[in-house]
Protein backbone atom coordinates (compact mmCIF):
# COMPACT_ATOMS: atom_id res chain seq x y z
CA UNK A 1 0.00 0.00 0.00
CA UNK A 2 1.33 3.44 -0.89
CA UNK A 3 2.12 5.84 1.92
CA UNK A 4 -0.81 8.26 2.21
CA UNK A 5 0.08 11.83 1.30
CA UNK A 6 0.94 13.85 4.35
CA UNK A 7 -1.43 16.77 4.70
CA UNK A 8 0.09 20.24 4.69
CA UNK A 9 -0.55 21.99 8.01
CA UNK A 10 0.77 25.42 7.01
CA UNK A 11 1.24 27.10 3.63
CA UNK A 12 3.81 29.91 3.59
CA UNK A 13 3.23 32.55 0.90
CA UNK A 14 5.64 34.83 -0.86
CA UNK A 15 3.96 38.19 -1.56
CA UNK A 16 5.25 39.95 -4.72
CA UNK A 17 3.95 38.26 -7.88
CA UNK A 18 2.78 35.29 -5.82
CA UNK A 19 0.05 36.29 -3.37
CA UNK A 20 -0.49 39.58 -5.18
CA UNK A 21 0.34 40.79 -8.67
CA UNK A 22 3.06 43.44 -8.77
CA UNK A 23 6.07 44.42 -6.70
CA UNK A 24 5.30 46.56 -3.67
CA UNK A 25 8.76 48.18 -3.42
CA UNK A 26 8.62 49.30 -7.04
CA UNK A 27 5.54 51.34 -6.20
CA UNK A 28 3.08 49.02 -7.95
CA UNK A 29 -0.55 49.22 -6.91
CA UNK A 30 -0.51 45.50 -6.14
CA UNK A 31 -3.67 43.52 -6.86
CA UNK A 32 -5.13 40.46 -5.27
CA UNK A 33 -7.03 38.25 -7.69
CA UNK A 34 -10.41 36.80 -6.82
CA UNK A 35 -8.92 33.31 -7.33
CA UNK A 36 -6.24 33.95 -4.74
CA UNK A 37 -8.77 35.37 -2.29
CA UNK A 38 -10.87 32.23 -2.75
CA UNK A 39 -7.83 29.99 -2.28
CA UNK A 40 -6.98 31.77 0.99
CA UNK A 41 -10.45 31.22 2.39
CA UNK A 42 -10.70 27.66 1.07
CA UNK A 43 -7.47 26.53 2.72
CA UNK A 44 -8.41 28.41 5.88
CA UNK A 45 -11.74 26.58 6.06
CA UNK A 46 -9.92 23.27 5.66
CA UNK A 47 -7.92 24.02 8.78
CA UNK A 48 -4.64 24.66 6.95
CA UNK A 49 -2.82 27.58 8.57
CA UNK A 50 -1.16 30.18 6.36
CA UNK A 51 1.79 32.49 6.80
CA UNK A 52 3.83 34.87 4.68
CA UNK A 53 7.53 35.00 3.93
CA UNK A 54 8.52 38.01 1.88
CA UNK A 55 11.49 40.29 1.30
CA UNK A 56 9.84 43.61 1.99
CA UNK A 57 9.52 46.30 4.61
CA UNK A 58 7.35 44.78 7.32
CA UNK A 59 5.18 47.82 8.05
CA UNK A 60 4.44 48.55 4.39
CA UNK A 61 3.69 44.96 3.44
CA UNK A 62 1.52 44.29 6.48
CA UNK A 63 -0.41 47.52 5.94
CA UNK A 64 -1.09 46.41 2.37
CA UNK A 65 -2.30 42.99 3.51
CA UNK A 66 -4.66 44.75 5.92
CA UNK A 67 -5.94 47.07 3.17
CA UNK A 68 -6.58 44.05 0.96
CA UNK A 69 -8.55 42.56 3.84
CA UNK A 70 -6.52 39.34 4.13
CA UNK A 71 -4.05 40.07 6.95
CA UNK A 72 -6.13 38.07 9.44
CA UNK A 73 -5.43 34.86 7.50
CA UNK A 74 -1.73 34.89 8.32
CA UNK A 75 -0.01 33.69 11.48
CA UNK A 76 3.62 34.50 12.35
CA UNK A 77 4.29 36.61 9.22
CA UNK A 78 8.00 36.72 8.32
CA UNK A 79 8.58 39.90 6.33
CA UNK A 80 12.16 41.15 6.26
CA UNK A 81 15.47 40.75 4.49
CA UNK A 82 16.96 37.51 5.77
CA UNK A 83 17.15 34.23 3.84
CA UNK A 84 13.75 32.66 3.28
CA UNK A 85 14.86 29.24 4.49
CA UNK A 86 15.60 30.72 7.92
CA UNK A 87 12.25 32.50 7.94
CA UNK A 88 10.33 29.34 6.98
CA UNK A 89 12.20 27.34 9.62
CA UNK A 90 11.31 29.98 12.19
CA UNK A 91 7.61 29.82 11.22
CA UNK A 92 7.64 26.02 11.58
CA UNK A 93 9.29 26.26 14.98
CA UNK A 94 6.85 28.84 16.25
CA UNK A 95 3.97 26.65 15.12
CA UNK A 96 5.71 23.55 16.51
CA UNK A 97 5.05 21.85 13.18
CA UNK A 98 7.41 19.34 11.61
CA UNK A 99 9.17 20.54 8.45
CA UNK A 100 7.40 18.00 6.30
CA UNK A 101 4.02 19.54 7.11
CA UNK A 102 5.04 22.96 5.76
CA UNK A 103 4.53 24.12 2.18
CA UNK A 104 6.08 27.18 0.54
CA UNK A 105 4.93 29.00 -2.57
CA UNK A 106 7.08 31.56 -4.41
CA UNK A 107 7.33 32.81 -7.99
CA UNK A 108 11.17 32.97 -7.85
CA UNK A 109 12.96 29.69 -8.67
CA UNK A 110 16.03 30.90 -6.76
CA UNK A 111 14.03 31.42 -3.56
CA UNK A 112 12.44 27.99 -3.86
CA UNK A 113 15.83 26.43 -4.46
CA UNK A 114 17.27 28.16 -1.39
CA UNK A 115 14.43 26.87 0.79
CA UNK A 116 14.65 23.38 -0.76
CA UNK A 117 18.38 23.23 -0.16
CA UNK A 118 18.20 24.05 3.55
CA UNK A 119 14.80 22.49 4.28
CA UNK A 120 14.52 19.47 1.97
CA UNK A 121 11.31 18.27 3.61
CA UNK A 122 9.40 21.50 2.99
CA UNK A 123 7.23 21.13 -0.10
CA UNK A 124 7.82 23.99 -2.55
CA UNK A 125 5.43 25.19 -5.23
CA UNK A 126 5.76 27.72 -8.04
CA UNK A 127 3.27 30.58 -8.21
CA UNK A 128 1.97 29.11 -11.49
CA UNK A 129 0.73 26.10 -9.53
CA UNK A 130 -1.62 28.19 -7.37
CA UNK A 131 -4.74 27.51 -9.48
CA UNK A 132 -4.37 23.74 -8.94
CA UNK A 133 -3.27 23.87 -5.29
CA UNK A 134 -6.68 23.39 -3.66
CA UNK A 135 -7.18 20.21 -5.72
CA UNK A 136 -3.95 18.53 -4.62
CA UNK A 137 -4.26 15.68 -2.11
CA UNK A 138 -1.78 17.26 0.31
CA UNK A 139 -4.09 20.27 0.61
CA UNK A 140 -7.20 18.13 1.01
CA UNK A 141 -7.47 16.76 4.56
CA UNK A 142 -9.61 13.64 4.82
CA UNK A 143 -11.70 14.99 7.67
CA UNK A 144 -12.87 18.58 8.02
CA UNK A 145 -14.81 19.39 11.18
CA UNK A 146 -16.02 22.43 13.02
CA UNK A 147 -12.65 22.46 14.77
CA UNK A 148 -10.68 22.53 11.52
CA UNK A 149 -12.80 25.37 10.21
CA UNK A 150 -11.95 27.32 13.34
CA UNK A 151 -8.34 26.20 13.59
CA UNK A 152 -6.78 29.54 12.70
CA UNK A 153 -9.15 31.38 15.00
CA UNK A 154 -8.30 28.94 17.82
CA UNK A 155 -4.60 29.35 17.12
CA UNK A 156 -4.79 33.14 17.21
CA UNK A 157 -6.82 33.01 20.42
CA UNK A 158 -4.05 30.81 21.83
CA UNK A 159 -1.40 33.41 21.01
CA UNK A 160 -3.38 36.17 22.75
CA UNK A 161 -3.92 33.88 25.73
CA UNK A 162 -0.21 33.02 25.98
CA UNK A 163 0.73 36.70 25.77
CA UNK A 164 -1.61 37.46 28.63
CA UNK A 165 -0.32 34.58 30.73
CA UNK A 166 3.22 35.82 30.16
CA UNK A 167 2.43 39.21 31.69
CA UNK A 168 0.05 38.01 34.40
CA UNK A 169 1.46 38.51 37.89
CA UNK A 170 -0.27 36.58 40.62
CA UNK A 171 -1.40 33.16 41.66
CA UNK A 172 -2.01 30.53 39.03
CA UNK A 173 -5.59 30.08 40.06
CA UNK A 174 -6.41 33.76 39.67
CA UNK A 175 -5.10 33.67 36.11
CA UNK A 176 -7.15 30.58 35.35
CA UNK A 177 -10.21 32.23 36.85
CA UNK A 178 -9.62 35.32 34.70
CA UNK A 179 -9.92 33.14 31.59
CA UNK A 180 -13.60 32.41 32.32
CA UNK A 181 -13.18 28.79 31.31
CA UNK A 182 -16.17 26.70 30.34
CA UNK A 183 -15.97 22.93 29.84
CA UNK A 184 -18.71 20.79 28.40
CA UNK A 185 -18.84 17.05 28.85
CA UNK A 186 -21.38 15.39 26.59
CA UNK A 187 -22.28 12.01 25.13
CA UNK A 188 -20.43 11.68 21.84
CA UNK A 189 -22.29 12.12 18.57
CA UNK A 190 -20.89 11.64 15.06
CA UNK A 191 -19.45 15.13 14.68
CA UNK A 192 -17.85 14.92 18.14
CA UNK A 193 -16.29 11.56 17.34
CA UNK A 194 -14.82 12.99 14.15
CA UNK A 195 -13.42 15.91 16.10
CA UNK A 196 -11.90 13.49 18.57
CA UNK A 197 -10.42 11.46 15.73
CA UNK A 198 -8.95 14.64 14.33
CA UNK A 199 -7.58 15.53 17.75
CA UNK A 200 -5.85 12.16 17.96
CA UNK A 201 -4.41 12.43 14.48
CA UNK A 202 -3.26 16.02 14.55
CA UNK A 203 -2.25 17.03 17.99
CA UNK A 204 0.03 15.77 20.60
CA UNK A 205 -2.24 14.25 23.19
CA UNK A 206 -2.07 12.16 26.29
CA UNK A 207 -3.72 8.79 26.36
CA UNK A 208 -3.93 6.85 29.61
CA UNK A 209 -3.26 3.49 27.99
CA UNK A 210 -1.82 4.41 24.61
CA UNK A 211 -4.53 2.28 23.02
CA UNK A 212 -5.95 4.00 19.98
CA UNK A 213 -9.70 3.60 19.58
CA UNK A 214 -10.81 4.12 16.00
CA UNK A 215 -13.79 6.24 15.08
CA UNK A 216 -15.68 3.06 14.10
CA UNK A 217 -15.00 1.34 17.39
CA UNK A 218 -16.09 4.34 19.46
CA UNK A 219 -19.17 4.79 17.26
CA UNK A 220 -20.18 1.18 17.91
CA UNK A 221 -19.64 1.56 21.68
CA UNK A 222 -21.91 4.63 21.68
CA UNK A 223 -24.76 2.20 21.00
CA UNK A 224 -23.75 -0.26 23.71
CA UNK A 225 -25.93 0.08 26.83
CA UNK A 226 -23.06 -0.70 29.22
CA UNK A 227 -20.62 1.81 27.73
CA UNK A 228 -20.52 5.57 27.84
CA UNK A 229 -18.51 7.52 25.28
CA UNK A 230 -18.10 11.14 26.29
CA UNK A 231 -16.30 14.07 24.73
CA UNK A 232 -14.98 17.20 26.39
CA UNK A 233 -14.91 20.61 24.73
CA UNK A 234 -13.52 23.79 26.26
CA UNK A 235 -13.61 27.51 25.62
CA UNK A 236 -12.67 30.71 27.41
CA UNK A 237 -12.99 34.42 26.82
CA UNK A 238 -10.31 34.31 24.14
CA UNK A 239 -12.20 31.75 22.10
CA UNK A 240 -12.76 28.03 21.68
CA UNK A 241 -10.22 25.26 22.28
CA UNK A 242 -12.45 22.85 20.39
CA UNK A 243 -12.72 19.16 21.29
CA UNK A 244 -10.02 18.53 23.89
CA UNK A 245 -10.76 15.13 25.33
CA UNK A 246 -12.54 11.82 25.15
CA UNK A 247 -13.36 9.17 27.71
CA UNK A 248 -14.80 5.70 27.59
CA UNK A 249 -16.47 4.16 30.62
CA UNK A 250 -17.86 0.69 31.07
CA UNK A 251 -20.43 0.68 33.87
CA UNK A 252 -20.83 -2.35 36.13
CA UNK A 253 -23.04 -2.28 39.16
CA UNK A 254 -20.35 -1.81 41.77
CA UNK A 255 -17.47 -0.57 39.69
CA UNK A 256 -17.02 1.76 36.75
CA UNK A 257 -14.11 0.94 34.48
CA UNK A 258 -12.51 4.01 32.93
CA UNK A 259 -11.04 2.33 29.87
CA UNK A 260 -9.94 5.38 27.96
CA UNK A 261 -9.05 8.90 28.92
CA UNK A 262 -7.28 11.02 26.36
CA UNK A 263 -6.84 14.77 26.46
CA UNK A 264 -5.14 17.34 24.32
CA UNK A 265 -1.82 18.55 25.70
CA UNK A 266 -3.07 22.10 25.09
CA UNK A 267 -5.44 21.94 28.05
CA UNK A 268 -3.19 20.25 30.60
CA UNK A 269 -2.24 23.57 32.15
CA UNK A 270 -5.92 24.44 32.53
CA UNK A 271 -6.48 21.53 34.85
CA UNK A 272 -8.64 19.64 32.38
CA UNK A 273 -7.46 16.20 33.52
CA UNK A 274 -8.25 16.89 37.16
CA UNK A 275 -11.59 18.45 36.24
CA UNK A 276 -12.60 15.33 34.30
CA UNK A 277 -11.38 12.94 37.00
CA UNK A 278 -13.24 14.90 39.69
CA UNK A 279 -16.45 14.82 37.66
CA UNK A 280 -16.17 11.07 37.10
CA UNK A 281 -15.53 10.57 40.83
CA UNK A 282 -18.64 12.60 41.70
CA UNK A 283 -20.73 10.59 39.30
CA UNK A 284 -19.44 7.26 40.57
CA UNK A 285 -19.80 8.32 44.22
CA UNK A 286 -23.47 9.11 43.64
CA UNK A 287 -23.98 5.75 41.97
CA UNK A 288 -22.18 4.08 44.88
CA UNK A 289 -19.68 2.52 42.51
CA UNK A 290 -15.90 2.26 42.80
CA UNK A 291 -13.66 3.37 39.97
CA UNK A 292 -11.05 1.34 38.12
CA UNK A 293 -8.95 3.34 35.67
CA UNK A 294 -6.88 1.60 33.04
CA UNK A 295 -3.38 2.98 32.80
CA UNK A 296 -0.27 2.03 30.93
CA UNK A 297 2.73 4.30 31.11
CA UNK A 298 4.31 5.56 27.93
CA UNK A 299 6.73 8.37 27.20
CA UNK A 300 3.94 10.84 26.62
CA UNK A 301 1.36 10.25 29.35
CA UNK A 302 3.40 10.89 32.46
CA UNK A 303 1.17 13.84 33.35
CA UNK A 304 -1.81 11.55 33.33
CA UNK A 305 -0.25 9.19 35.84
CA UNK A 306 0.33 12.19 38.08
CA UNK A 307 -3.30 13.29 37.60
CA UNK A 308 -4.59 9.84 38.60
CA UNK A 309 -2.29 9.60 41.60
CA UNK A 310 -3.05 13.12 42.76
CA UNK A 311 -6.75 12.31 42.44
CA UNK A 312 -6.14 9.49 44.92
CA UNK A 313 -6.02 6.44 42.62
CA UNK A 314 -3.80 3.63 43.95
CA UNK A 315 -2.65 0.16 42.96
CA UNK A 316 -4.34 -1.29 46.06
CA UNK A 317 -6.53 -4.30 45.42
CA UNK A 318 -10.27 -4.38 45.96
CA UNK A 319 -12.97 -7.02 45.54
CA UNK A 320 -14.63 -4.87 42.89
CA UNK A 321 -11.72 -5.40 40.52
CA UNK A 322 -12.44 -9.14 40.44
CA UNK A 323 -15.65 -8.73 38.49
CA UNK A 324 -13.96 -6.87 35.63
CA UNK A 325 -12.74 -8.75 32.59
CA UNK A 326 -8.91 -8.72 32.42
CA UNK A 327 -7.46 -5.57 30.88
CA UNK A 328 -6.61 -5.50 27.22
CA UNK A 329 -3.72 -5.35 26.45
CA UNK A 330 -2.60 -7.37 29.46
CA UNK A 331 0.15 -4.98 30.60
CA UNK A 332 -2.45 -2.34 31.38
CA UNK A 333 -2.50 -1.47 35.09
CA UNK A 334 -5.79 -0.94 36.88
CA UNK A 335 -5.73 1.96 39.30
CA UNK A 336 -8.42 1.88 41.94
CA UNK A 337 -10.34 4.63 43.70
CA UNK A 338 -13.13 4.70 46.23
CA UNK A 339 -14.65 7.93 44.99
CA UNK A 340 -15.82 10.84 47.12
CA UNK A 341 -17.67 13.99 46.12
CA UNK A 342 -15.65 17.11 45.25
CA UNK A 343 -16.27 20.80 45.55
CA UNK A 344 -17.05 22.42 42.24
CA UNK A 345 -13.99 23.71 40.38
CA UNK A 346 -13.17 27.30 41.24
CA UNK A 347 -11.70 27.95 37.80
CA UNK A 348 -13.85 26.13 35.26
CA UNK A 349 -17.60 26.25 34.79
CA UNK A 350 -18.69 22.75 33.93
CA UNK A 351 -21.70 21.62 31.92
CA UNK A 352 -22.08 17.88 32.20
CA UNK A 353 -24.79 15.27 32.05
CA UNK A 354 -25.83 12.87 34.80
CA UNK A 355 -24.48 9.50 33.73
CA UNK A 356 -27.15 7.56 35.57
CA UNK A 357 -29.77 9.28 33.42
CA UNK A 358 -28.13 8.18 30.19
CA UNK A 359 -28.86 4.49 30.13
CA UNK A 360 -28.44 3.07 26.68
CA UNK A 361 -29.04 6.38 25.00
CA UNK A 362 -28.44 6.63 21.29
CA UNK A 363 -26.35 9.70 20.41
Sites of contact with other proteins (CB under 8 A): 169-174, 176, 268-274, 302-303, 305-307, 309-310, 314-315, 346-347
Nearer to other proteins, 281 or 307 (CB): 307
Nearer to other proteins, 177 or 227 (CB): 177
The CA-based angle 324-275-227, given to 5 degrees, is 30
Nearer to other proteins, 73 or 313 (CB): 313
Min dist CB 196 to other proteins, Å, is 21
213-218-220-222 Cα dihedral, nearest 10 degrees: 150
Min dist CB 307 to other proteins, Å, is 7
Nearer to other proteins, 11 or 304 (CB): 304
- The residues near 161 (Cβ < 8 Å, ≥ 6 apart) are 179, 236, 238
Nearer to other proteins, 10 or 275 (CB): 275
Of 340, 199, 179, give the one whose Cα is nearest residue 269: 179
Min dist CB 166 to other proteins, Å, is 11
Min dist CB 315 to other proteins, Å, is 7
Min dist CB 299 to other proteins, Å, is 13
Nearer to other proteins, 65 or 270 (CB): 270
Strands 78-80 and 333-337, sheet pairing: unpaired
Min dist CB 254 to other proteins, Å, is 25
How far out from the chain centre does Cα 204 lie?
8
- Across 119-134, b (16+ Cβ under 10 Å) vs e yields beebbbbebeebeebe
Amino acid sequence: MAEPTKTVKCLVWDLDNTLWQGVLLEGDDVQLSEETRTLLSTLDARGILQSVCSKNDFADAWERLEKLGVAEYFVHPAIGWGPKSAAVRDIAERLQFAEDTIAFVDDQPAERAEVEFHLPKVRCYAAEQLPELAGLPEFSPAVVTQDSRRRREMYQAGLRRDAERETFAGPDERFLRSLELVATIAPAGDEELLRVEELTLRTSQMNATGVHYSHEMLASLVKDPRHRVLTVTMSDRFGPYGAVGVMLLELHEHVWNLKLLATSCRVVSLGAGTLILNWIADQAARADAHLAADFRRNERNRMMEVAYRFAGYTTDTCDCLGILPPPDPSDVERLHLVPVMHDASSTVRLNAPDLRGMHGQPA
